Amino acid sequence: MSSISALHAQLTSGTKAVITTHFNPDSDAIGSSLAWQNYLNQLGLEVSVIVPSAVSANLTWMPGAEQILNFEDTLHRVQIEALLKGAAFIFCLDFSGMQRLHGLSHPIKAARGIKVVIDHHLNPEDFGDYYYHRITAASTCELIFDLIQEWGDDACINEEMGSCLYSGIMTDTGSFRHPNTTAHVHEVVAQLIQKGVNTNAIHRKIFDSASLDRLRFLGHVLANRLDYLPEYHLSLMWITEEDQKQYNSQAGDTEGIVNYGLQIAGAIWAILLIQRPDGIKLSFRSIEPFAVNEFASKYFEGGGHKNASGGRFSSSSIEGAKEKLQEVLPLYLSEINRVKNL
């Protein structure tokens, strides 16, 4: 592993590079990837952004999004494989473990290019040649901003790039309300505003761009797919494959739904179960100081941030996942009660 400062000089004009990010890419994943692409383009590199699964509709306004190649699209796949063969650098943004790439992990592992990890998730795996990694950063977009500053290239941060960076910072901090919202986050945002970023317009593009189906889907989940377990201070939500079909659910439509569970007075954490063909996907959210990533990794093959994690359950039965929860929840009762009394 080498120091990231040695990397700057290697990013020379004409060099070919690929940027990739995690499955179900969120606003931080896409925002950081497009901002980094914009920066590398300014340095004269030839850069493509490739993703393991589709970009959700509320992110396609970002400058450069229309050029993103999706590995799940068979037409893009051939192009992606060729780009990976020719890339001198592969930038891995906003993920710390190869399994987050799903099907794209094999071609990325096999690619010979120098791997550069820029990320803020816990416990990064050892797959990179260079790391710019800080778990105290609220988002990868914040790290991209900091790295460009460290390299003395503040002038490269233009309004287009700033809009992408602001999107990731805004969403990964839960619109500046999560405990990861440091003074530095606000300092970065202040500088982005000075560079012309329209924060109000971006907030609307990201959050107020739902389809009618999406809003009705949310209503259905809140009305019929939410239980509150007072003894565990837990909001438990679930979404079946049938629900997703009925409401014509698109990529990104389940994003953020789990957070509603924390709006119940007394809730310390929320869990959302989503039925997928290959198993149940779990999303966990918690309030400080309850570490939901420990629960996710102990019982549901997952992990992530302290207050925002993911996991999986290998059978695709919602009932099965609920039974597993009923088994393990009593084991957490003392920790829940400890946190409740703080």
Residues that bind Mn ion (CB under 5 A): 28, 94, 139-140, 172
Q: How far is the CB of 134 from Mn ion (least distance, A)?
A: 12
Give the residue from 273, 278, 275 showing the smallest Cα distance to 326.
273
| Contact by Cβ (8 Å): 56, 68 | no
Put the strands of the sheet holding 226-229 in their side by side order: 226-229, 234-239, 269-276, 279-286, 308-313, 303-304
Q: How far is the CB of 161 from Mn ion (least distance, A)?
A: 17
Q: How far is the CB of 44 from Mn ion (least distance, A)?
A: 28
> In this complex, which beta carbon is closest to Mn ion, that of residue 121 or of residue 233?
121
> In this complex, which beta carbon is closest to Mn ion, that of residue 3 or of residue 136?
136
Q: Which residues are within 8 A (CB) of 113 and not within 5 positions of it... i.e. 6 or more apart?
A: 17, 18, 84, 87, 88, 89, 90
> In this complex, which beta carbon is closest to Mn ion, that of residue 83 or of residue 169?
169
From CA 313, how far away is CA 225, in angstroms rounded?
Answer: 18
Q: How far is the CB of 225 from Mn ion (least distance, A)?
A: 26
> In this complex, which beta carbon is closest to Mn ion, that of residue 275 or of residue 309?
309
What type of residue sits at position 339? V
With CB atoms as reference, the residue minimizing the distance to Mn ion is 28
Q: How far is the CB of 185 from Mn ion (least distance, A)?
A: 13
From CA 297, how far away is CA 280, in angstroms rounded?
Answer: 15
> In this complex, which beta carbon is closest to Mn ion, that of residue 21 or of residue 275?
21
Indicate the DSSP class of residue 51. Answer: E
Query: Which pair of structure tokens corresponds to residue 109?
Result: 């592992």
Q: How far is CA 67 from the centre of its chain?
A: 20
Q: How far is the CB of 3 from Mn ion (least distance, A)?
A: 23
> In this complex, which beta carbon is closest to Mn ion, that of residue 119 or of residue 243?
119
> In this complex, which beta carbon is closest to Mn ion, that of residue 24 or of residue 140?
140
| Contact by Cβ (8 Å): 340, 333 | no
SS3 state at 227: strand
From CA 132, how far away is CA 160, in angstroms rounded?
Answer: 23
Q: How far is the CB of 138 from Mn ion (least distance, A)?
A: 8
